[in-house]
Structure 1
Amino acid sequence: MPAAGPCVRLQSSRALFTTLALAVVGPLAVPASAQSPVTPRQPSGPVIQSAGAASTVDAPTFVVPNGHRLKSVFVIDAGGNDTTKVNAKLSTMARFYNLHALNGFPEARLAVAAVVFANGWQSVLTDAAFAARFGGAANPSRVLVEELLQHGAQLVLCGQTASSARIRRDELIPGVKVAISAMTALNVLQADGYLLNPW
């Protein structure tokens, strides 16, 4: 076989040099903040302790204006009849509190509400009411609902859902409100500046 010419050897040397240079320089060219923008997620806290996993974000480039107040309304329309798991939609509300607090946003500038209807109503029942309807099981979301209420969240049950499911007022966790309908509550809350959280 004929020996490789000088041009082939030169090209091979250049390719090898480029590969080695990228291997050495590449990792050093990316700032540390770009490599690891978040810290490991913590399962709950610092505001809501029973749910709401969140992470600290290092130097976010989308900055919330000074003094801005975040007002969000969540729709709780599913997950209420699970007898073993906390309602995932309520956990999202907990995350809203925790992820902002972890990143230095004052809890006093958070306003949170939820409108409960369809298959979410079971989550706002007392343990006794839940047990009576679901074979003796305690409401797995009760502790979270109570904690959200303690931190100023509004939880509003659709009156039409309550009527359909024959829910008595004394079956609701204390602090849960009842509206004429979910449509009524969503209209009023959004008119009051609460933005609908899309999930």
Structure 2
Amino acid sequence: MLATPAIGQTPQRLIPDFGAFNPIADAFEEPDPLVRYRIIFDVSQAARAEGSVHQGLDRVARMVNLLNYYGVKLQPGDIVVTLHGAAAKTALTPAAYAKRFKNEATPNAALIQQLTEAGVSVRLCGQSMVANGFEKEELNSDIKVDVSAITTIGTLQMRGYALIQD
């Protein structure tokens, strides 16, 4: 069993500005660095507080940081986020978000960038994109558009991904 990193040897967080966590000494269950983690985060709820980082995306960052802390080496695409429903607007650029929702700017752009730099694949449900009237030009450049969240989730589950819902 892998021990928690020693003091002074704490790995750097892969998502430095988001996904904070507290190490738990002598935890019963810890992430296993010998397991390949392949996870879909189904993010469909609206942000709890308008103008704040979406809690579902921050949860993804926490998972990435926790796995890294415990020595799990993720490969690009091992973690997939599907944005749909009320969370679809999270995929907009700051300018498009501000124009459409009369808000300053979405704080999620920096988080999405850090997630993709860490190898997380962030996807938008194409059906939600169309239903909301979003144009591809309005989307954050780090976002990929899938046909639908339900087909992506189903396909990835059949390929062995675990599902975490918000």
- How far 1:174 moved relative to its partner? 0.8
Q: Distance in 1 between matches of 2:140 and 2:74?
A: 23
Question: 1:79 maps to what in 2?
Answer: 46
* Structure 1 residues 46-82: Cα deviation after superposition (integer angstroms, max 9, x where no partner): 1111211212233444365563101111111122595
Q: Deviations over 1:149-189 (max 9, x none)?
A: 11111111111111111111111111211111111111111
1:101-180 correspondence to structure 2 within 5 Å: 101-108=68-75, 111-180=78-147
TM-score normalised by L of structure 2: 0.83
**Does the 8 A contact of 2:30 with 2:70 survive in 1?**
no
Alpha-carbon contact 2:36-2:74 (below 8 Å) kept: no
* Residue-by-residue CA offset, 1:118-144 (whole Å, 9 max, x unaligned): 100111110111011111411111110
AA at the equivalent of 2:55: A
How far, CA to CA, are the matches of 2:15 and 2:30 in structure 1? 24
* Within-5 A mapping of 1:22-33: none
Tell me what 1:46 maps to. Answer: 13
Decide which structure has the larger Cα Rg and report it.
1
How far apart, in 2, do the equivalents of 1:52 and 1:131 lie? Answer: 24
Question: Which consecutive residues of structure 1, in runs of 5 or more, have no partner in the other structure?
Answer: 1-36, 38-44
Q: Larger % of helix: which? A: 1
Q: Matched residues in 1 for 2:33 and 2:16: separation?
A: 27
- When residues 140 and 65 of structure 1 are mapped into structure 2, their CA distance, relative to the original with a 3 A threshold, is closer
Contact persistence 1:52–1:94 (CA under 8 A): yes
Unaligned 5+ residue runs, structure 2? 5-11
* Structure 1 moving runs of 4+ over 3 Å: 59-66, 80-83, 107-110
Query: TM (normalized to structure 1)?
Result: 0.70
* Larger RCO, structures 1/2 (Cα 8 Å, 6+ apart): 2
Tell me the number of residue pairs that the alignment of Structure 1 and Structure 2 aligns: 156
**1:109 Cα deviation (Å)?**
8.8
In structure 2, do the counterparts of structure 1 residues 63 and 132 end up closer, same or farther at CA, with 3 Å as the change threshold?
A: closer
State the partner residue of 1:183: 150
Match of 1:98 in 2: 65
**Structure 1 residues 159 and 46, CA, compared in 2 at 3 Å: closer, same or farther?**
same
CA distance in 2, matches of 1:61, 1:118: 36
